[in-house]
Structures are given as C-alpha cells and as structure tokens.
Amino acid sequence: MEKIDKSRIKKEAINILLVTIGCLIGTFSSISIMIPSGLTSGGVTGIARIVQHFIPINFSYLYYIGSAIVLILCAIVLGLGEAKKIVVASIIYPTALLFWEQFDIRLIEGQDMLLATIYCGVFSGLCNGIVLSRGFSSGGSDTIAKMIHIKLAPQIPLSKVLLGVDATIIIASAFVYGRNVALYALVTCLISSKVMDYYMYGITPKIVQVEIITDMSDTIQGYILHTLERGVSRENITGAYTNVRRPKLVVLCSPRESVLIRKYVSQMDPHALITVNAVDGVWGTGFRELETVPKPDSDGKAGSRQ
C-alpha cells in the first residue's frame, strides 16, 4: 500500500510540474507578446483585457479575480467535483502571470501584429495541450459554457455554447479594441486550437486503423500476429448486395505497418478491400498508458481554454 501511495504522489507531482510549465508558457505569451502588442483573446483572458480597458488595474489581478469568480460559480452550479478539475490551473496560471510581470520582456520587436498573433496562438496552444493532457482544465470559457449549457440552455449542444461564449467575448473586444484586433484574436484562437491538437495527438497520425475484408483472412491474420506482432480483431460482416458473409480484420498499427499490410494483402488476395483511417489517439495495452487519458467533461468531452 505504501508503495502505491508513493507512486501516486510521484505521478501527481509530475502532473503539477508539467501543468506549471504549461502555465508559464501560456502566461509568457500574454505578458510578453499579447499585451505589449495590443492584442486580446477569448476566454477569461479576453474578459480581463476588456475590463482592463475601462478600469486601470493590473492584468494579472483582473485575471485572478476572473478565475476566482469562475471557480466559485463552478462549485455552486456544477458541484465540487467539477471545481476540483479547474482549481489547480485557476491558482497556478494567475500566479505565473504575476511571475512574468516581474520581468520587462517583450518577445516581438516593434508592432508586428501578425507575428504576435501567430506566436500567441502557438504558446497558448502548448499551454492548453499540456494542461489538458494531464487531465486538468483551465477554468476558462469551457467552464463558463458548461454552466450556461446546464442551467440556461440544455437543449443546445455544449460545443455550440462554447463557440457562442468565445464569439461573444471576441465580438465585444471589437467594440473596445477595434475590428482588426478582434480578427487577430480569432486567428489566435484557431492557431491555439490546432497547436493543442498537434501537441496531444502529433502533427501526423502515429496510429492508423486498418480494416481488411478478404477471403484469405486466416493467412493475413497470421502475418499480422506473427510477423508484424500486432493484435488484430476479427468479425463477420454481410454484404448488402451479394448477401455473402465474409470476415473483416481490424488492426491498429503505425502508418509504416499499414503499408506493409497493404502490400502483403495485395499479394495474397488482389480482390480484397482495405480501408485505412487516421486515429487521433490510442490508449491501452501496446500503446500509450491508459492513465494519460484526459478526464472527460460531463458530456464526454474535455476542454481547456484560457
């Protein structure tokens, strides 16, 4: 039991360390790129930037207040279970903002808005990817959207509510900072989303799913199991046109292995049907550890937006 506890403590410590690194990356972009360049964003960051335009208060303090309000509302509306998911990032992220404010660092020279927009998106995406991949949530617009979805608009899908929340924040920023800044904020959000996906799943698919419909299933199955040493699933399907039952093999493997399988199948059964689909991620025996799966939200999706 003691060994298990130590292992769990070590794992949680690594998670906190990585989340801290992610927050340092995200806050660096806010303090050294976004604010000096006059840009804004969605989520709590965008709300704090709008409020800062009217009330001359330090951005980090405004973000702290915003995070605290979201955390309290989350605990009241969604319960303590949901609040626990965002409490870590709600504390670390504003603290990291205060840390970077101690240094006068400006990454982009001059007023290159496009370059600033790109790098804000890249750093923000890295931050969100790291936080989400460790099973935490930022307590940003995703949490706000979930509260609206549950209490005010349960008939609207959460993804659409989230889109509406971010769109509202960005549109509001257009009236404060101008249309160009709002459009740059939209580009930042798009880049951030892509970088987050790249971080979590890779730029190119590392795993593909191969489906094979063939009359030589036993031979091909043996090749996959014993030569490639990959697991394979097998099921029988019925063709709607011919009404003939045939076996279908399903394999999860690397793109390179899928090419080897295709070549082998073409030699064994030129009339076989093969489909190859990219898989965003695979967790389990033979692949990534199942414990690295991000914790899902109530609707089965996980989200993280600053």
**What average pLDDT does this structure show over 18-31?**
92
**pLDDT class for 204, splitting at 50, 70, 90?**
low
Domain with 214, as residue range(s), is 207-279
pLDDT reported for residue 1: 45
pLDDT reported for residue 288: 64
Does the pLDDT value for residue 249 go beyond 50? yes
pLDDT digits (tens, 9 = 90+) for 260-304: 888 889 888 888 899 988 777 677 666 666 655 555 554 444 444
**What average pLDDT does this structure show over 238-258?**
85
Across the strands, what pairs with 88? none
Does the pLDDT value for residue 3 go beyond 60? no
Across the strands, what pairs with 248? 213, 235
CB 162 within 8 A of CB 60: no
What are φ and ψ of residue 273, in 5° steps? -115, 125
29: nearest Cα among 45, 51, 10: 45
Does the pLDDT value for residue 222 go beyond 50? yes
pLDDT reported for residue 122: 93
27 burial via Cβ count (<10 Å: 0-12, 13-18, 19+): buried
Ranges of H-type helices in 178-282: 179-201, 217-222, 255-268
Decide if 51 is inside a domain: yes
pLDDT digits (tens, 9 = 90+) for 131-176: 877 777 777 777 888 888 888 888 887 667 877 888 889 899 999 9
Decide if 233 is inside a domain: yes
Q: Residue 268 belongs to a domain with what CATH number?
A: 3.30.70.120
- Rounded percentage of the chain residues whose pLDDT exceeds 90: 21
CA atoms within 13 A on the CB side of 81: 5
Residues 6+ apart with CB under 8 A from 296: 302
Distance CA 217, CA 247 (A): 7
What are the angstrom distances between the C-alpha of 280 and each of 28, 163, 288, 293?
29, 22, 12, 12
Domain finish residue from 201, 235, 259: 201
pLDDT reported for residue 205: 62
| Mean pLDDT (the chain, rounded) | 83
Q: With the CA atoms of 204, 141, 27 and 35 taken in that order, what torsion angle do they form, in degrees rounded to the nearest 10?
A: 110
**What average pLDDT does this structure show over 198-204?**
71
Domain finish residue from 201, 229, 256: 201
pLDDT reported for residue 286: 64
Judgement on whether residues 106 and 189 belong to the same structural domain of the protein: yes
pLDDT digits (tens, 9 = 90+) for 52-65: 889 888 888 999 89
**What average pLDDT does this structure show over 121-127?**
90
Decide if 35 is inside a domain: yes
pTM of the model as a whole: 0.70
Decide if 219 is inside a domain: yes
pLDDT reported for residue 145: 81
Q: What DSSP state is assigned to residue 225?
A: I
Token digits of residue 1: 């039991």
